Each structure stands twice: as C-alpha cells, then as structure tokens.
Amino acid sequence: MKKIYFDNAATTPIDKDVVTVMTEHMLNNFGNPSSSHEFGRKAKVIVETARKYIASVFNCSPSEVIFTAGGSEADNLILFNAVKNLGVEHIISSPIEHHAVLHTIEALRRDFGIEVTNLSIDRYGEIDDKELRQHLQNSRKKTLVSLMQVNNELGNILDVDKVCRICHETGALFHSDTVQGIGHVPLDLKTTPIDFITASAHKFHGPKGVGFAIVRKGLSIEPMLYGGEQEMGSRAGTENTHSIVGLHKALSLAIDHFTQDKAYILEIKKYFIEQLTSRIPGISFNGLSADLDRSAFHILSVRFPVEKPMLLFNLDLKRIAASGGSACQSGSSKGSHVLSAILNEEASRQTSVRFSFSKFNTKDEVDQAIHEISEILA
C-alpha cells in the first residue's frame, strides 16, 4: 500500500532541487561567513544573496531581514523585543494563534506584567475588526497586535491589509506570524507595511531549522543570543549557511511556480471536498477551510459526524499521514486549542482531522484516502 502524506501544514517534503544545492554548498562552500579570507567571503556572499532575494520577494530592505532557526524563534525574538526594547505594555492577540505566540505572550505577561487582550472569535474562527479598533482606541498604553496571517489548523486567511491599516491608524505595532502563509499567500510589505513577519523554510519544501524575521527599519532589535555580531547584531552564532541556501532555493521555487502550484493544489483540495461530501453523509468543515476563496489552498479541517478517537491512529495504520491539529501540540493530551475556541460542546465531541496538501500529492491519493476513511468509519 502506497504511503500518503497529507500533513504538509506540519512540514513539507524537502524538494530534491533544494537538497542538491544544499549538498553542493556543504561540500564546496564550507567557510565561515565571518572569516575575512576567500572561503569566508564566498560564504558571506551566499548569505547576503539570499537576504537580498528575500527582500526582493517581500518588497523590503535587505537590512530588515534577520535569519533565525525558524518561525518559533522569530516570533520569540519579535515579541520579547517589543516589550523589552520598544516599550510595548499591551498586546492584543487571539486565542487561536500558534503556541509560539500564545506561550510567549503568557511568559511576557508573567515576567513583565504586560496587559494582554484576547479578541473574540466567532464560530468560523474570525475576529471582529470593530472590536479590534475599539480595543486600540481605548488603550492608553503602547500596544502591539499579534495576529497570524494564515491559521495553521483552519487555513483561515486574515485580512492583513485591513488589520495593518487599523493598527497604524491607532498608533499600534502589528506583528503577524506568517509562517503558514509564506509560499501560499502573496505578501507585499510596501503596500501592506506590517511591522514584523516570520517564516520557516520547512513550510515551503525547504530544510527544517532555518527561517527568518522581517523587522521594519527603525524598530530596534536586541539579540536573545549573545556571543557575536552576526545578523547585524540581532542574532549571535555562526550562520547556518547551507540551510540558508536551501531556504533561498525553496522560496525561489515557491515564488517562481506559485501560480501553477496554487492551481494544482487547489484542485486537489476541491476534489477532496467533493469526494468527502459525496461519500460520507453529515461531513462538515471547521472554520473557513472549505471556502476556497477565504482559506489557504493547502489546508482543510474536516469534522466527521462521529466520535472516533482512534481515527488518526487507524489512518496511520493505513499509511495515511494527517493531523488532529498543529504538529507542535501532538504530544499534548489537551487537544486543539483552536478547535476548542470555535466549536460548541457537541461539535467538539466529533472527530476533527486536518488534511493538508502539496504539489507532490495526487487525485489518486485522494481516492485511496477516501476509500480508507469510508472503511474505517464503517
């Protein structure tokens, strides 16, 4: 039986072209970018070329791009700096953010006594723009708004243009965890001047352990790691050059093939929805994930009309990989905090599964998965 991977929101298979350039770099370009000799200078050029490329993609300055070990580190770097160095005393967020944001905000509340406001979420996982504006207008403290661009469990796409406009009209800073959106939802920081965004390469067929933050010029960032002046003094430590090369290649592939990849993956998602609804009575979808216009084209959160706590386990036995929510909380017994925030008690008892797709999936895999799901439920 063929293995089927429908958990691309957790991590994506690394593209073979990315592996090729990373391998070549590890073998031939091993110099330390901080060294002044030829080997070091060559490595430095490779890192700075990647930085300039990222800046060109998001229409910002290369000096605003900081390489990190991934999205979680980037979120921590930004949120801690907002409080410790930028004078933020009030953070407005939502209960369905990634734990890299929620847990960091809770630590800031505990250690620095900041005020925290969680916006109300409707049954689709959407915020109320009017409520956000009201909180910002009522705040007497320097405020940062932290809302993710694409929800990693529901696939809901935030109107970052509107949120950015509201924040800047009221003098607030805006941080958006864009980890799930990079490579899936276009973003131009010239037209949508978000103050802080984050990315992780393994969400768009790059290597794990590398990502970046983009921090708007003029916003001071102090390092969380000390020991060197790398990343313009914002992050100490020898640059992970082969992974930065991989990130560069993966992002360029995602950007260059965006239109065709989106059309292909969207067709896979649409076909999956059609087959589910026709084969399994009473099926429903969480959030806006089945709305092809308002959700990311690679994420679908499905709620089955039964209590089937072993569904994921049985799918795994059938060699089908999916998720009950975020991979980062798979070791938790508490279940999905996102689904808990939007579902009523009856719906929460039903079994929800997140299926997420990539350019490597096929309709044949959908057919096989639907067949196995039908048998398991029967």
Q: Which residues are catalytic?
A: 328
- Is residue 283 within 8 Å of residue 276, measured between CB atoms? yes
Compute the chain's Rg from CA coordinates: 21
Q: What's 351's domain CATH number?
A: 3.90.1150.10
My answer on whether 241 and 349 are in the same domain is no
Domain end residue (candidates: 229, 256, 283): 256
Sequence-separated (6 or more) residues with CB below 8 Å from residue 26 = 242
My answer on whether 22 and 38 are in the same domain is yes
Amino acid sitting at position 202? H
What is the bridge-based pairing of β-strands 4-5 and 65-68?
A: unpaired
My answer on whether 200 and 349 are in the same domain is no
Full residue range of the structural domain in which residue 196 is found: 16-256
Domain end residue (candidates: 221, 256, 291): 256
Whole-model pTM: value is 0.94
My answer on whether 109 and 176 are in the same domain is yes
My answer on whether 25 and 49 are in the same domain is yes
Which pLDDT score, from 0 to 100, does residue 325 have?
63
What are the tens digits of pLDDT across the range 47-70? 999 999 999 999 999 999 999 999
My answer on whether 276 and 237 are in the same domain is no
My answer on whether 276 and 370 are in the same domain is yes
Which pLDDT score, from 0 to 100, does residue 307 have?
84
My answer on whether 278 and 227 are in the same domain is no
Which pLDDT score, from 0 to 100, does residue 308 have?
77
Which pLDDT score, from 0 to 100, does residue 309 have?
77
Those residues of the chain that have pLDDT short of 50 are 326-327, 329-332
My answer on whether 272 and 371 are in the same domain is yes
What are the tens digits of pLDDT across the range 272-322? 999 999 999 999 999 999 999 999 999 999 999 888 778 999 999 999 999
My answer on whether 124 and 262 are in the same domain is no
My answer on whether 177 and 308 are in the same domain is no
Tally of domains in the chain: 2
Q: What's 222's domain CATH number?
A: 3.40.640.10
Task: Characterize 8-44 residue by residue with b for buried, 16 or more Cβ atoms within 10 angstroms of its Cβ, and e for exposed.
Answer: bbbbbebbeebeebbeebeeebebebeeeeeeeebbb
Domain end residue (candidates: 218, 239, 256): 256
My answer on whether 283 and 199 are in the same domain is no
